[in-house]
Protein backbone atom coordinates (compact mmCIF):
# COMPACT_ATOMS: atom_id res chain seq x y z
CA UNK A 1 0.00 0.00 0.00
CA UNK A 2 1.23 3.51 -0.81
CA UNK A 3 2.30 5.73 2.03
CA UNK A 4 -0.36 8.33 1.27
CA UNK A 5 -3.07 5.70 1.71
CA UNK A 6 -1.56 4.51 4.98
CA UNK A 7 -1.51 8.09 6.28
CA UNK A 8 -5.11 8.49 5.18
CA UNK A 9 -6.03 5.38 7.19
CA UNK A 10 -4.31 6.87 10.24
CA UNK A 11 -6.39 10.02 9.79
CA UNK A 12 -9.53 7.90 9.53
CA UNK A 13 -8.48 6.20 12.80
CA UNK A 14 -8.64 2.89 10.95
CA UNK A 15 -6.54 0.23 12.71
CA UNK A 16 -5.68 -1.18 9.32
CA UNK A 17 -3.17 1.70 9.17
CA UNK A 18 -1.10 -0.03 11.85
CA UNK A 19 -1.33 -3.39 10.10
CA UNK A 20 -0.25 -1.90 6.77
CA UNK A 21 2.62 0.00 8.40
CA UNK A 22 3.76 -3.16 10.12
CA UNK A 23 3.57 -5.13 6.91
CA UNK A 24 5.50 -2.55 4.91
CA UNK A 25 8.09 -1.29 7.34
CA UNK A 26 8.70 -4.02 9.93
CA UNK A 27 11.93 -5.24 8.34
CA UNK A 28 13.40 -1.79 7.88
CA UNK A 29 12.47 -0.69 11.41
CA UNK A 30 13.71 -3.78 13.20
CA UNK A 31 16.90 -3.74 11.21
CA UNK A 32 17.56 -0.11 12.22
CA UNK A 33 16.64 -0.68 15.86
CA UNK A 34 18.72 -3.84 16.06
CA UNK A 35 21.76 -1.94 14.82
CA UNK A 36 21.43 0.38 17.80
CA UNK A 37 20.35 -2.09 20.47
CA UNK A 38 21.93 -5.33 19.26
CA UNK A 39 19.01 -7.18 20.76
CA UNK A 40 16.18 -8.56 18.65
CA UNK A 41 13.73 -8.62 21.57
CA UNK A 42 14.38 -4.97 22.36
CA UNK A 43 14.12 -4.15 18.66
CA UNK A 44 10.72 -5.86 18.51
CA UNK A 45 9.61 -3.90 21.55
CA UNK A 46 10.77 -0.63 20.00
CA UNK A 47 8.88 -1.46 16.83
CA UNK A 48 5.68 -2.00 18.82
CA UNK A 49 6.29 1.33 20.56
CA UNK A 50 6.86 2.93 17.17
CA UNK A 51 3.48 1.73 15.90
CA UNK A 52 1.88 3.12 19.03
CA UNK A 53 3.73 6.44 18.59
CA UNK A 54 2.52 6.66 14.99
CA UNK A 55 -1.06 5.99 16.05
CA UNK A 56 -0.83 8.73 18.69
CA UNK A 57 0.93 11.32 16.53
CA UNK A 58 -0.92 10.91 13.19
CA UNK A 59 -3.13 12.92 13.26
CA UNK A 60 -2.56 15.73 13.97
CA UNK A 61 0.83 15.34 12.35
CA UNK A 62 0.86 14.57 8.62
CA UNK A 63 4.38 13.38 7.71
CA UNK A 64 5.62 14.57 4.34
CA UNK A 65 7.57 11.35 4.03
CA UNK A 66 6.21 8.44 6.07
CA UNK A 67 9.27 6.24 5.59
CA UNK A 68 11.66 8.89 6.88
CA UNK A 69 9.28 9.74 9.71
CA UNK A 70 9.07 6.12 10.85
CA UNK A 71 12.84 5.79 10.69
CA UNK A 72 13.21 8.85 12.91
CA UNK A 73 10.63 7.61 15.40
CA UNK A 74 12.10 4.15 15.85
CA UNK A 75 15.61 5.58 15.92
CA UNK A 76 14.68 7.94 18.75
CA UNK A 77 12.87 5.21 20.66
CA UNK A 78 15.82 2.87 20.22
CA UNK A 79 18.24 5.52 21.51
CA UNK A 80 15.99 6.04 24.52
CA UNK A 81 15.92 2.30 25.07
CA UNK A 82 19.68 2.25 24.77
CA UNK A 83 19.87 4.83 27.55
CA UNK A 84 17.66 2.61 29.68
CA UNK A 85 19.83 -0.39 28.93
CA UNK A 86 22.96 1.51 29.95
CA UNK A 87 21.29 2.53 33.19
CA UNK A 88 20.49 -1.12 33.81
CA UNK A 89 24.09 -2.07 32.91
CA UNK A 90 22.92 -3.92 29.82
CA UNK A 91 25.64 -3.52 27.26
CA UNK A 92 25.34 -2.88 23.53
CA UNK A 93 27.86 -2.92 20.71
CA UNK A 94 26.38 0.40 19.64
CA UNK A 95 28.45 1.99 22.39
CA UNK A 96 31.33 2.02 19.94
CA UNK A 97 29.31 4.02 17.42
CA UNK A 98 28.23 6.45 20.11
CA UNK A 99 31.86 7.02 21.07
CA UNK A 100 32.49 7.64 17.40
CA UNK A 101 29.65 10.15 17.40
CA UNK A 102 31.19 12.07 20.30
CA UNK A 103 34.15 12.80 18.09
CA UNK A 104 31.87 14.60 15.61
CA UNK A 105 31.51 17.54 17.95
CA UNK A 106 34.50 19.70 18.91
CA UNK A 107 35.55 19.54 22.55
CA UNK A 108 33.77 22.04 24.74
CA UNK A 109 30.96 22.65 22.27
CA UNK A 110 27.70 23.43 24.00
CA UNK A 111 24.28 22.17 22.98
CA UNK A 112 22.92 25.70 22.61
CA UNK A 113 26.02 27.47 21.42
CA UNK A 114 24.91 28.08 17.89
CA UNK A 115 23.11 31.38 18.14
CA UNK A 116 20.05 29.73 19.55
CA UNK A 117 19.84 27.21 16.72
CA UNK A 118 19.63 23.57 17.70
CA UNK A 119 22.67 21.47 16.96
CA UNK A 120 20.57 19.14 14.80
CA UNK A 121 19.62 22.03 12.53
CA UNK A 122 23.25 23.13 12.30
CA UNK A 123 24.26 19.62 11.28
CA UNK A 124 21.44 19.64 8.72
CA UNK A 125 22.78 22.91 7.34
CA UNK A 126 26.24 21.43 7.15
CA UNK A 127 24.95 18.39 5.24
CA UNK A 128 23.40 20.67 2.63
CA UNK A 129 26.88 21.97 1.88
CA UNK A 130 28.61 18.64 1.26
CA UNK A 131 28.57 16.49 -1.85
CA UNK A 132 25.65 14.03 -2.14
CA UNK A 133 27.89 10.97 -1.92
CA UNK A 134 29.56 12.18 1.27
CA UNK A 135 26.15 13.07 2.71
CA UNK A 136 24.72 9.63 1.91
CA UNK A 137 27.68 7.92 3.54
CA UNK A 138 27.47 10.19 6.59
CA UNK A 139 23.73 9.55 7.04
CA UNK A 140 24.13 5.80 6.49
CA UNK A 141 26.77 5.69 9.19
CA UNK A 142 25.49 8.13 11.80
CA UNK A 143 21.73 8.05 11.26
CA UNK A 144 21.26 4.39 10.33
CA UNK A 145 24.37 3.08 12.15
CA UNK A 146 25.27 0.96 9.12
CA UNK A 147 28.61 -0.81 9.03
CA UNK A 148 31.35 0.41 6.73
CA UNK A 149 31.20 -2.90 4.84
CA UNK A 150 27.44 -2.56 4.16
CA UNK A 151 27.86 1.04 2.97
CA UNK A 152 30.77 0.01 0.80
CA UNK A 153 28.77 -2.79 -0.80
CA UNK A 154 25.64 -0.73 -1.42
CA UNK A 155 27.51 2.22 -2.90
CA UNK A 156 29.94 0.10 -4.89
CA UNK A 157 33.05 1.72 -3.44
CA UNK A 158 35.88 0.32 -1.38
CA UNK A 159 35.68 0.21 2.39
CA UNK A 160 38.77 2.37 2.60
CA UNK A 161 37.06 5.01 0.51
CA UNK A 162 34.02 4.93 2.80
CA UNK A 163 36.32 5.37 5.78
CA UNK A 164 38.22 8.21 4.17
CA UNK A 165 35.04 10.03 3.08
CA UNK A 166 33.67 9.68 6.61
CA UNK A 167 36.91 10.89 8.10
CA UNK A 168 37.02 13.88 5.77
CA UNK A 169 33.35 14.77 6.34
CA UNK A 170 33.72 14.58 10.10
CA UNK A 171 36.78 16.79 9.92
CA UNK A 172 34.82 19.36 7.94
CA UNK A 173 31.87 19.12 10.32
CA UNK A 174 34.12 19.81 13.29
CA UNK A 175 35.56 22.87 11.54
CA UNK A 176 32.06 23.98 10.55
CA UNK A 177 30.77 23.68 14.11
CA UNK A 178 33.81 25.48 15.53
CA UNK A 179 33.26 28.32 13.08
CA UNK A 180 29.52 28.45 13.84
CA UNK A 181 30.14 28.58 17.58
CA UNK A 182 32.68 31.35 17.14
CA UNK A 183 30.07 33.38 15.28
Partner 1 sequence: MNGKRIAEEIGKIRDEYVVEALETKRGLDGRERSITVKSKKRLIAILAAAVIIAAIGCGTAAAVKFGNLSIIKNQYEKTEDVLDVPEELPKMDIEENGLELTPPAPKAPAATDDGSQSEAEETEAPNPEELKPGEARFTGIVVTDHSFDGTFDLNVSGMGLPEKATDGAEYEYFESFTTVEEEIDGNRRFIGVCSTSFVSRDGDIATFVLSDCRLSTPPQGDLIFTVDGIKYQKADRSGEVSGYDGKIEVKISSDDYEVTESKYSLNAPESDGCAYLMELSPSAIKVSPQGGTSGEAFDVSTVKVEVKLRDGTVLSEDLGETGDKARIFVGGAQHMNGGFLLNFATLVDISEVSSVTVNGIEFDF
Subset of residues 8 to 27 that bind partner 1, contact rule: CB under 8 A: 22-24, 26-27
Q: Which of 16, 129, 149, 175 binds partner 1 (CB under 8 A)?
A: 149
End-to-end CA distance of the chain: 47
Residue 124 Cβ, how far from partner 1 at the closest point, in Å?
4
State the Cα angle at 90 between 83 and 166, rounded to 5°: 60
Query: Which SS3 state, helix, strand or coil, does residue 124 take?
Result: helix
Rounded distance between C-alpha atoms, residue 139 and residue 146, angstroms: 9
Q: Pick between residue 118 and residue 179 the one whose CB is nearest to partner 1.
A: 118
String marking each residue 84-123 x if it binds partner 1 according to CB under 8 A: ---------x---xxxxxx-xx---xxx------xxxx-x
Q: Is 175 in the site for partner 1 (CB under 8 A)?
A: no
Q: Contacts for 134-137 with beta carbons within 8 Å, 24 or more apart?
A: 134/165, 134/168, 134/169, 135/169, 137/162, 137/165, 137/166, 137/169
Q: Is 142 in the site for partner 1 (CB under 8 A)?
A: yes
Residue span binding partner 1 (CB under 8 A) among the ranges 6-14, 54-62, 153-161: 153-161
Q: Pick between residue 52 and residue 68 the one whose CB is nearest to partner 1.
A: 68
CB 67 within 8 A of CB 50: no
Q: Is 157 in the site for partner 1 (CB under 8 A)?
A: yes
Q: Pick between residue 9 and residue 126 the one whose CB is nearest to partner 1.
A: 126
Q: Is 165 in the site for partner 1 (CB under 8 A)?
A: yes
Rounded distance between C-alpha atoms, residue 165 and residue 160, angstroms: 9
Amino acid sequence: MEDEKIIALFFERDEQAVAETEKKYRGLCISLSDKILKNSFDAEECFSDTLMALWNSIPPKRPENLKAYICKVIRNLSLTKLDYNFAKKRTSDCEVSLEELEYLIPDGASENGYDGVELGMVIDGFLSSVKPEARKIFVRRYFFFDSVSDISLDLGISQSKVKSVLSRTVKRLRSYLTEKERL
